[in-house]
Chain A
Amino acid sequence: MFKDITLGQFFPGDSFVHRLDPRTKICLSLIFIVLVFLANSILGFALLGGFILLVAIITKIPLKFMIRGLKTIMFFIVLTAFFNLFLSTGTVIWQWRFLKITDRGLELALTMIARLVLLIFGTSILTLTTSPIALTDGIEALLRPFKKIKLPVHELAMMMTIALRFIPTLIDETDKIIKAQTARGTDFESGNLIRRAKALIPILIPLFISSFRRADDLALAMECRCYNGGENRTRMKVLEMKAIDFVGWGVTLALGVIVIILNYVRI
């Protein structure tokens, strides 16, 4: 039942966006998010929307993958739109009993929807085109300057790598434990919420115990392979900024300048 779980939502490919350095992609995604909140002109949003659509087309990721990301926050989008639409002040353009829509409310609601959708699309493109490992490497490299203020950057990255490494192993294990407990007559499906939550205990306890045992083994194996924290450690794979990264930066920064200018050129 757990076999088909994919890690993160990485969609492998070989497009321009896929080949960008993870550091570039993380930074550009952050810039894009800032732009989404800076923009306040129709043309600005149209430009950002067009840009993200173009990027999505370049990555060759099916549109349904992008839309899947929206589903999870659909409720949030509808709620925000609702409040903005009906509870804003301004000139009334439509009224039914106590519900009224103002011009300002309509504008705010549409802006909010546009922002949330663009936000999800922008971050989805990052996680869809970057493998979890590359993402970890990128985060480690970007956080490296913070080592000076004693942030344990290497340790954080190591924890993320180990977590990623053990997720499939623990999923397999959970599957086995569920089968073993089912064979012993545990009923996971019937009863009320409390009863079903209680049925999870015989899964969680063995899972915890075995996780600790695995952690113990892994620590020993790592020590046997001379692991001594991040000090004096070198890496086989070194991140390198290539020509395409500069192209990516250039395009995104140009987009940023245009969006900001458009804010002041009111049509």
Chain B
Amino acid sequence: MEPIIRAENLKFSYKNQEDGKEYEVLKGIDMEVRKGEFLCVLGHNGSGKSTLAKHFNSILVPTEGKVFVGDMDTSEEDKLFDIRQRVGMVFQNPDNQIVATIVEEDVAFAPENLGLPREEIISRVDFALKTVNMEAYRNHAPHKLSGGQKQRVAIAGVLAMMPEVIVLDEPTAMLDPVGRKEIMNTIKTLNREKGMTVVLITHYMDEAAEADRILVMDKGKIKMEGTPKEVFSKVDEVKAIGLDVPQATALAYELNKNGFNLPLDILNTEDCVSNIIKELEND
């Protein structure tokens, strides 16, 4: 599959204003985002995963190395708007991303900035609101919506740009369980039904388990890469980085320590249950 975003030996460091020291956040990253995939970047706080995401639409530019979106170098300033239109970004706090006082006007914000004709803006707003399933709220005030609904409006606001890739930087971190589920369903619809390339930055294992491919980051480097099954079955390696594996995998792992012989690529409850039943019947 052809890559849409490509990072080559990406390094990023910044100077702390207080102690004047240089901090290297990204220490040489080579990776790519492939067309149509659902990629998850996993890592705990301070692993550099958000910093990496900010390179995808040139909010940050590399100190060393290169990042390409298509064949555009993100450090070229005249390509800035092209890059940002192709790579949309959704952030953690939905409250701080919504600009307008009415849902549909907020979704229209990006196409208005692109200077599109009026009919085109209206059709994009319709499309975006329909995709995130928020059409019924188009004339509502954003502050009266729930967290999950607000975040869906924020996603619609990015979709209205018609990006090729949508990057979500911990979009569920401030939401309740219901809101998290809403957002994960929206992300899955985007990827599976609309064929949108999705990059999800998260520290929730259960969300990562839904992805096609996972990159695990630790201390500014990519430590593991592979499908969720490949990554999470290496339980010891994942734990060494300080991350957890999904609950189902963890259960299988613990049972194996006590004489069970379960496969470790179990990611969800259903698989876990059926495998345990099979194991018990065999005994």
- How many residues on A have C-beta within 8 angstroms of the other chain's C-beta atoms? 29
Inter-subunit contact B113/A228 (CB<8 Å): yes
CB < 8 Å neighbour of B96 from A161, A217, A226, A237: A217
Which residues of chain B are within 8 angstroms of A169 by Cβ–Cβ distance?
Answer: 95, 143
Inter-subunit contact A133/B101 (CB<8 Å): yes
Give per-residue flags for A182-221: 1 if the beta carbon is below 8 A from chain B beta carbons, else 0. Answer: 0000000000000000000000000000000110011011
Which residues of chain A are within 8 angstroms of B222 by Cβ–Cβ distance?
Answer: none
Complex-state Cα separation, A218 to B109, whole angstroms = 13
Say if the beta carbon of A132 comes within 8 Å of chain B: yes
- How many residues on B have C-beta within 8 angstroms of the other chain's C-beta atoms? 40
Inter-subunit contact B118/A168 (CB<8 Å): no
Inter-subunit contact A168/B143 (CB<8 Å): yes
Minimum CB–CB distance for A43 against chain B, Å = 43
Inter-subunit contact A233/B95 (CB<8 Å): no
Complex-state Cα separation, A232 to B116, whole angstroms = 9
Inter-subunit contact A225/B101 (CB<8 Å): no
Which residues of chain A are within 8 angstroms of B10 by Cβ–Cβ distance?
Answer: none
Inter-subunit contact A165/B100 (CB<8 Å): yes
Which residues of chain B are within 8 angstroms of A236 by Cβ–Cβ distance?
Answer: 104-105, 108, 111-112, 118, 121-122, 125
Inter-subunit contact B161/A225 (CB<8 Å): yes
Dominant secondary structure of chain A at its interface with chain B: helix
Which residue of B is nearest A225, CB measured? B110
Which residues of chain B are within 8 angstroms of A237 by Cβ–Cβ distance?
Answer: 105
CB-CB under 8 A for A165 and B110, given A224-B59, A226-B161: no
Which residues of chain B are within 8 angstroms of A225 by Cβ–Cβ distance?
Answer: 84, 88, 109-110, 113, 157-158, 161
Say if the beta carbon of A108 comes within 8 Å of chain B: no
Dominant secondary structure of chain B at its interface with chain A: helix
Interface-central residue, A162, A213, A214, A217, by most chain B CB under 10 Å: A217
Which residue of A is nearest B110, CB measured? A225
Say if the beta carbon of B102 comes within 8 Å of chain A: yes
Inter-subunit contact B99/A224 (CB<8 Å): no
Within 8 A of A (CB), among B72-117: 81, 84-85, 88-89, 91, 93, 95-102, 104-105, 108-117
Say if the beta carbon of A234 comes within 8 Å of chain B: yes
Which residues of chain B are within 8 angstroms of A218 by Cβ–Cβ distance?
Answer: 96-97, 99
Complex-state Cα separation, A223 to B83, whole angstroms = 12
Inter-subunit contact A235/B91 (CB<8 Å): no
Inter-subunit contact A164/B101 (CB<8 Å): yes
Inter-subunit contact A224/B102 (CB<8 Å): no
Minimum CB–CB distance for B52 against chain A, Å = 16
Inter-subunit contact A217/B97 (CB<8 Å): yes
Minimum CB–CB distance for B55 against chain A, Å = 13
Say if the beta carbon of B147 comes within 8 Å of chain A: no
Which residues of chain A are within 8 angstroms of B118 by Cβ–Cβ distance?
Answer: 234-236, 238
Complex-state Cα separation, A71 to B171, whole angstroms = 47
Inter-subunit contact B122/A226 (CB<8 Å): no
Say if the beta carbon of B179 comes within 8 Å of chain A: no
Inter-subunit contact A234/B121 (CB<8 Å): yes
Say if the beta carbon of B249 comes within 8 Å of chain A: no
Which residues of chain A are within 8 angstroms of B99 by Cβ–Cβ distance?
Answer: 161-162, 165, 218, 221-222
CB < 8 Å neighbour of A223 from B59, B93, B102, B141: B59
Minimum CB–CB distance for A231 against chain B, Å = 9
CB-CB under 8 A for A227 and B109, given A214-B95, A217-B97: yes
Inter-subunit contact A223/B105 (CB<8 Å): no
Complex-state Cα separation, A217 to B112, whole angstroms = 20
Interface-central residue, A165, A225, A226, by most chain B CB under 10 Å: A225
Inter-subunit contact A221/B84 (CB<8 Å): no
Minimum CB–CB distance for B58 against chain A, Å = 10
Interface-central residue, A165, A168, A169, by most chain B CB under 10 Å: A165
Say if the beta carbon of B151 comes within 8 Å of chain A: no
Inter-subunit contact A226/B113 (CB<8 Å): yes
Complex-state Cα separation, A236 to B104, whole angstroms = 9
Within 8 A of A (CB), among B162-199: none
CB < 8 Å neighbour of A217 from B93, B111, B114, B158: B93
Binding site for B on A (CB under 8 A): 132-133, 161-162, 164-165, 168-169, 172, 213-214, 217-218, 220-228, 232-238
Q: Can you offer 13 A-B residue contacts whose CB atoms are under 8 A? A: A133-B101, A161-B99, A165-B143, A168-B143, A169-B143, A214-B96, A217-B97, A225-B113, A225-B157, A226-B81, A236-B108, A236-B122, A238-B118
User: Closest 3 A-B residue pairs measured CB to CB?
Assistant: A217-B96, A225-B110, A236-B108
Binding site for A on B (CB under 8 A): 57, 59, 81, 84-85, 88-89, 91, 93, 95-102, 104-105, 108-118, 121-122, 125, 141-143, 154, 157-158, 161
